[in-house]
A = this chain, B = another copy of it.
Amino acid sequence: MQPIRLGLVGYGKIAQDQHVPAIHANPAFELVAVATQGQPCAGVENFKSLGELLESGVQVDAIAFCTPPQGRFALVQEALAAGKHVLVEKPPCATLGEAMALVEHVSEQGVSGLFAWHSRYAQGIEAAREWLSTRTLQSVQIDWKEDVRKWHPGQAWIWQPGGLGVFDPGINALSIVTHLLPLPLFVESAELRVPSNCQSPIAASIKMSDTRQLDIRAEFDFDHGHDELWSIEIRCAEGTLRLDNGGALLSIDGVRQTVSEEGEYAAVYQHFQQLIGNKASDLDLQPLRLVADSFFVGSRASVEPFYD
């Protein structure tokens, strides 16, 4: 079988650290072109823009989007109009409206699309899903707490309007719980704590539920010092499941479980390959919808200014 010829747009940190190594390690893909405005990617043809790439005559079947979400909508539409399959980094777009429109455009074009919620491919997730599938859910507690100075040093965009603030890591937790739980989730209320010199929250408490009134609480904190905590605890009638380290570690009633050994992005590209093979798509809006609704109905409190 011929490999899927892949173009990549935006050769920044996430592309260099995660996408390109995962693509090179997967024989189902061949990276043939990169469009980027920064340093070029070795070993492939480089272009200044997606438009140049698409007009160059280089044959690509699919495009991976690793540019920031602002401005990505127009780029993905350009690739769809050219009949390419698309893989879109999280969060897929700057607004929910753009993401909803992309879902329709992918369907209209008859290509495969993947919103790559990479945390859903953390090592403990599949085993957690399997265990939960036969249990009676009682409550969910999410704690996603880290030091923004360590993970986003000097990244002013995260505090600007449309920047997600603490929801930038928090959306990873939301992508996991929406993948683990059987029913859609809804925001009931949210408290957003916004530094007085910023537009986006540095911390948030969110209360969610599903149509069976499952009690789901999330605590996001972006100013948590160096003692990181990325955990999801799901209490069931039969016992308590706990994911730690962002989903990499799984325990049931305190007993560590065997998990997958595959890396997140290796699994992302394997899933993309299967979607293309099956002429299917996986474009889940739910994590972004929960963030938008948290901003929509959340109360805001001004907290002390943030300095990097």
* A296 close to B96 (CB less than 8 A): yes
Q: A95 an interface residue at 8 Å Cβ cutoff? A: yes
**Beta-carbon nearest neighbor of A210 in chain B:** B101
* A97 close to B199 (CB less than 8 A): no
* A289 close to B97 (CB less than 8 A): yes
Q: Which residues of the partner chain B approach A199 to less than 8 Å between Cβ atoms?
A: 299-300
Can you pick out 18 interface pairs between chain A and chain B where the beta carbons lie within 8 Å of each other? A94-B297, A95-B293, A95-B296, A95-B297, A96-B292, A97-B184, A97-B186, A97-B187, A97-B286, A98-B186, A100-B285, A100-B289, A101-B184, A199-B299, A292-B292, A292-B293, A292-B296, A295-B295
How many residues of A are in contact with the other chain, CB < 8 A?
33
User: Which single member of B101, B161, B293 contacts A297 (CB below 8 Å)?
Assistant: B161
Q: Which residues of the partner chain B approach A297 to less than 8 Å between Cβ atoms?
A: 94-95, 161-162
* B293 close to A96 (CB less than 8 A): yes
User: Which single member of B160, B285, B286, B295 contacts A296 (CB below 8 Å)?
Assistant: B295
Instruction: Name which of A77, A162, A185 has the most chain B CB atoms within 10 A of its CB.
Output: A162
Q: A39 an interface residue at 8 Å Cβ cutoff? A: no
A residues lining the B interface (CB < 8 Å): 73, 77, 94-98, 100-101, 160-162, 184-187, 189-190, 199, 211, 285-286, 289-293, 295-300
Q: A189 CA to B291 CA in the complex, in Å?
A: 17
Please name 11 further chain A to chain B contacts, defined as beta carbons within 8 Å, in addition to the given A95-B187, A199-B299, sorted by A numbering: A77-B211, A94-B297, A96-B293, A97-B286, A97-B293, A101-B211, A161-B189, A161-B297, A291-B296, A292-B292, A295-B295
Q: A20 CA to B98 CA in the complex, in Å?
A: 38
User: Which single member of B95, B162, B186, B290 contacts A186 (CB below 8 Å)?
Assistant: B95
**Beta-carbon nearest neighbor of A285 in chain B:** B100
Q: Which residues of the partner chain B approach A295 to less than 8 Å between Cβ atoms?
A: 292, 295-296
Q: A204 CA to B287 CA in the complex, in Å?
A: 26
Q: A300 CA to B185 CA in the complex, in Å?
A: 27
Q: Which residues of the partner chain B approach A300 to less than 8 Å between Cβ atoms?
A: 199, 300
* A96 close to B289 (CB less than 8 A): yes
Q: Which residues of the partner chain B approach A185 to less than 8 Å between Cβ atoms?
A: 97
**Beta-carbon nearest neighbor of A105 in chain B:** B211
Q: Output the least CB separation between A112 and chain B (Å).
A: 21
Q: Which residues of the partner chain B approach A95 to less than 8 Å between Cβ atoms?
A: 186-187, 293, 296-297
Q: A189 CA to B293 CA in the complex, in Å?
A: 17
